Amino acid sequence: MLESTDNDLVQSMFYNGWTHDHYVTNLLVFAPDGTIIDCVLNCPGSMHDSELAYFGGVYQRLREQYEKHGGKCVMDSAFCSRGNAFVIKSAQDVTLGEDAQEYTMLRDATSMRQAAEWGMRALQGSFPRLKARLKYEEHGECKCIIQCIMLVYNFRARYCGINQIRTTFMPHLDRDCEALIARDLSS
């Protein structure tokens, strides 16, 4: 969240009408091991999520990964799946599926998207500084603070192993993590 400024133009740029406050928007892509694999940070709060993904180059990078490795991404209903084969959208109403297979896929995608909520909770719960009100600065430290938090989050997930997504989807990594620490300590 941001402090409001004297400049009306800046104020309207960061104003989010949905929550009636001033925000900095960040877009994060989580992997099944709980880490952040792509992000767009420190954008004005008035930007729409899909717009942010487009201008931040997330769609482009995910497309490249899809063409390279064939991996898809589950996103919520705000994002654009038209023309983007790598996007699987979750549905608010899973009964919209045309056949049983599509119905199952929509149900699973909606269930899996819950992982993104876990990721957001892990981030905001572990680092409450993100929820504190930051001062608006043109060339200030806002981005550095957010970037630092994202990097520490990744380090925590990979090295420390405290992450709900990781524990749910890849529990074997926790055991690997302990072996890794033991190896580091012995060296």
**Contacting positions for other proteins (CB under 8 A):** 31-33, 35-39, 61, 65, 69-74, 88, 101, 104-105, 107-109, 111-112, 126-129, 131-132, 141, 144-145, 147-152, 154-156, 158-160, 162, 168-170, 181, 184-185
**What single DSSP character describes residue 2?**
B
Of 17 and 139, CB closest to other proteins:
139
Report the run of H or E that residue 162 belongs to, with start and end: none
Rounded CA gap, 138 and 75, in Å?
Answer: 31
Of 20 and 69, CB closest to other proteins:
69
Q: Which phi and psi angles does 134 have, rounded to 5°?
A: -95, 155
Q: Classify 157 as helix, strand or coil.
A: helix
Amino acid at 70: G
> Which residues share a beta bridge with 30?
36
Minimum distance, C-beta of residue 3 to other proteins, in the bound complex (Å):
14
Minimum distance, C-beta of residue 59 to other proteins, in the bound complex (Å):
13
Of 78 and 148, CB closest to other proteins:
148
